Amino acid sequence: MTRHLLSLCFLLALAACAQREALPPAPIDATLRVPTLEFQAPPADHVVSTVRYTLDRQFAPLVNFYLKDEVAAFGRGEDTAVGELFGTVAVTAEAARRVYAKDPAAGDRRLLGRQVLLSGSVLGISKDDDQVPYVVLRDGVLLGTKARLARDSMAVAQTVTKDQDVAFVCTGRGLVARTPLFDDCRPAAVVAQRQTERLASEFARFARGQSVSPQATELAVRFESLARAVDDRVDCSTGCERRLDHRRAAEASTLAALVKSMRAGGLRIDAKAEQALTQSTLTAAAALNH
């Protein structure tokens, strides 16, 4: 399984989750680590009585592997479907310094006011005049690039160490005293995990026979099709792409039969999701084989 598996559907489903009104964010855990994310199918006694369809046993391992892989990659500052969803501009501190050194106006066009996935190696920690901490990232110049932490992420300053590789989601603020400045920075892995947790929650509701967004429904059916395409004895918790017939799992006839079976078993699949499954089959099949 790769991060690019089902990336188009993944983007759509995450976008639908992101559009829902969320509670105000709690303070972010200061520990920079690869977060855990676990989708679990609901217990049988939590499923409405009309649901007779049980998701394949490989469904949860495939979902968990893919979501964790996306979150971890985004947390390292890599290009991912999560980054495309957020509309982030992925840039290293060194690259930000170079673009501003070459053409400050071009640097502003690319980064000023944009949501930026900023990555680099920690040079040090400091505070501004308002006592808000910022992380200084190596960029080839003595002063470094500054990543000022968001209010709910200020504790991160107490945990990062010199030479540590980090990635933040920030807002570009341009050059300040000839130094690239990024503001309102949060650990990238935490930002990504919050969205994928919402998607995992939609999958659980879907398995209970509840209505969820068409995008999450479509993605759930695609994952179920993949899950059914691999032997139950194979361990997919760490990826099993070599044991999957991706093209077969994405065929219109396969998906149509699966939709019919899942509907008959009490799962809710609306017309929009069904149409997306059949119309985007060729695109999805091509993506799965890259």
In the predicted model, what is the mean pLDDT of residues 143-169?
94
- Do the Cβ atoms of 286 and 5 come closer than 8 Å? no
More confident position, 265 or 3: 265
- Tokens representing 86 are 């957020």
* C-alpha pair distances (Å), 24 with each of 34, 109, 240: 23, 31, 37
State residue 282's pLDDT score: 45
pLDDT digits (tens, 9 = 90+) for 207-248: 999 999 888 898 899 999 999 988 888 888 888 878 877 888
Nearest to 83, CA basis, from 159, 4, 153: 4
Is a pLDDT exceeding 50 seen at residue 8? Answer: no
Domains of the chain by start residue, with CATH: 84-189 (2.40.50.140)
More confident position, 195 or 119: 119
State residue 10's pLDDT score: 55
More confident position, 168 or 9: 168
pLDDT digits (tens, 9 = 90+) for 95-116: 999 999 999 999 999 999 999 9
In the predicted model, what is the mean pLDDT of residues 2-22?
48
pTM of the model: 0.68
More confident position, 42 or 268: 268
What is the chain's mean pLDDT, rounded? 82
State residue 193's pLDDT score: 83
Considering just the CA atoms, what is the radius of gyration of the chain in Å? 21
* C-alpha pair distances (Å), 190 with each of 35, 58, 167, 277: 7, 26, 10, 30
Strand-pairing partners, residue 15, are none
State residue 39's pLDDT score: 63
In the predicted model, what is the mean pLDDT of residues 80-107?
88
- Do the Cβ atoms of 227 and 59 come closer than 8 Å? yes
Res. 46 pLDDT band, cuts 50 70 90: low
Is a pLDDT exceeding 70 seen at residue 11? Answer: no
Nearest to 188, CA basis, from 71, 96, 95: 71
pLDDT digits (tens, 9 = 90+) for 170-204: 999 999 989 999 999 999 988 888 878 888 889 99
- Do the Cβ atoms of 224 and 281 come closer than 8 Å? no
